[in-house]
Amino acid sequence: MKIGKDVPEAAAMPAICYGAPNLYFLFAAMALFNLKDLGEMVYIIPRSWTSGAYIKRFRKQFLRDGALEHIHLFISRDKVFENESVLQETIIIKVKKSIVKPKKVVVTTTKNNQDFSDITVFEAPYDVVVSGEDLYVYLVTNEQEIETLSKLDKWNDTLPSLGLKMKTGLTVDFRNLDALRDSADIMAVPLFNAQHIKDGEVVFPVGRGYEYIVTTQQGLLQKNANYLFVRRFTAKEEHRRLQCVVYLSRKYPEYKEISTQNKINFISGFQELSENTVYGLYVVFNSTMYDCYYRILNGSTQVNSTEVNSMPVPPISIIEVMGKELIQGKDMSEFACDQILRSHL
């Protein structure tokens, strides 16, 4: 559970606390601290520590002082604790207190959580599993996933290095109920949300509640410009984690401003994105390889903008070329995006 920054547990370990601390990683850090050299710890632990900004300090200290030797993944997150309604993504880790790192990490996976009868075993290079400046833990389970990381990591750019950024939608419904509208009243602007993301394009309006907002709060409004919209939440069982659509401002010329609900993310730039750029970003994030990369990086059903902003992307010139190819081909499918992306790898 999350705790305040000033509670005794957090105050005892200020070096690893950033933002809202969580008891589970404070507990794990204290356990490693108390181990004798070469002692071992085996924990059932939320997967969320493997990436993200809030747990970066913990990761750096934990993986500096400890060597990750074994990771076990559960495919069915709702069956880990048989008699409990626990839906949080959990893993089992074995860590040795040592600054000497092994060459390999054992990664095991199972569907049947009662007796582990269907366990699969994969040995991954340590420097592939634990990688990057922020020491993300990439949970690879086969050679194909390692190949995906290897191919995409050859690109040195990220969205921020290109002057782009993924952000979370601006409007939180329950905090702004008085401003929400079901229809296009005078002064109302569109409020785009997950229900408007359909097969690569924005479908608006759809006639289902709270599709407009009337507000003077600039923090809830953004320029009617070109964006890539990305769903923030998906179901564990869905085929894709990254689900995106191209938003083009010219299709809504009557509005100078729009708003986005916080259940979607959007990619924008310091300057307005060209249509080629937006379609090129769609190629990237609608591809199988990038969806796979994100799943390796984050097991959550929530698309975290911090992690997407840390992922490698092609140079802007290649993104624009890929966008032009997608527009010319008029095929927004995942297969078409895969074909275009692979031709530029």
- Walking along the chain (345 residues) 10 residues at a time, the average pLDDT comes out as 87 84 91 97 93 88 96 74 64 96 95 76 96 91 95 96 97 94 92 90 90 95 97 81 95 96 96 96 97 88 89 97 96 96 96
pLDDT confidence of residue 82: 61
Q: Report the pLDDT value the prediction gives residue 6, as an integer from 0 to 100.
A: 85
Q: Which of 302, 303, 228, 212 is nearest to 261 (CA)?
A: 212
What pLDDT does residue 209 have? 86
- Would you give the DSSP letter of residue 119? -
Token couple for 318: 């290649």
CB burial of residue 117 (10 Å; 0-12, 13-18, 19+): exposed
Q: What is the pLDDT of residue 162?
A: 97
DSSP string, 55-74: THHHHHHHHHHEEEEEEEEE
First-to-last alpha carbon distance for the chain, in angstroms, is: 42
pTM listed for this prediction: 0.90
Bond from prior residue into 205 cis (ω within 30 degrees of 0) = yes
* Residue 199 to residues 35, 81, 87, 328, Cα–Cα distance (Å): 52, 36, 28, 18
Looking at residue 97, what is its pLDDT?
98
